[in-house]
Amino acid sequence: MDPSGKVALISGGASGLGAATARVLVERGGKVLIADKAREPGEALARELGSRALFVETDVTSETAVQAAIARAKADLGGLHIAVGCAGIGTAGRVAGKHGPFPLDLFQLTVNVNLVGMFNLVRLCAAAMTENVPDAEGERGVIVMTASIAAFDGQIGQVAYSASKAGVVGMTLPIARELGRFGIRIMTIAPGIFDTPMLGMLPEEARQALSVNVPFPTRLGKPSEYARLALQIVENPMLNGETIRIDGALRMQAK
């Protein structure tokens, strides 16, 4: 799908991977609706990107909030052709730790935001995309979900996070098989260690310690590199129903 003139809704779009994706899509002539709970950075990014960007405060776990964001995309930007799910949270804790078992409410929160919230975005955006007129390739929409390499080699303490991201990977193919008849593709990106606000809270020493384990390039990933992959997924019609790791060949150790 040619992103020029198309409208993309990006959850978690106010910062990190989502913000980088918003920038690259606008650079390619697209329009973006930045859907995020963080109002101040979201509005600032929309101002930076200009008339082809709009911020809407959105909680991906809320059906009403996501429906409202989709309605704004249609009314103010002219439609909905691309959806990129970048909203998520990171949590840590051991199943049987020094202070007792992993809190059940924290596990439920992690799965609710990272997996249920992603599915909520996908189902509502897909339903809206079925109404689009197909392009020359027969496409009506493209959806990109974000998982993590923790879905495949999660570390000790990542049980809730790994479970939530593995769920995103697991629903990629069945959704692709179902939506193919509408001309809607769906892919998942599984990033390794990227220089995002989530990692930005760590001391520089800890950030460096993480990056030395990446075979090549031996550094943290750049959000712009995630965004370039998301753009390639949008543009390449044969990419469908698969998860792509973007991690510099990193395979995480047990801890």
Active site residues: 161
Q: How far does Cα 236 stand from its chain's mean position?
A: 18
Return the C-alpha torsion angle 79, 84, 85, 90, nearest 10.
Answer: -140
- What the block records as the tokens of 28 is 């390619």
Residue 23 host element (H or E): helix 16-27
Q: Are strands 100-101 and 96-97 parallel, antiparallel or unpaired?
A: antiparallel
Rounded to 5°, angle at Cα 78 from 60 and 61: 5
Whether 68 contacts 44, CB under 8 Å: no
In the chain, DSSP finds a helix count (H) and a strand count (E) of: 10, 9
149 CB burial (10 A radius; 0-12, 13-18, 19+):
buried
Give strand ranges (E) for 89-217.
96-97, 100-101, 141-146, 184-191
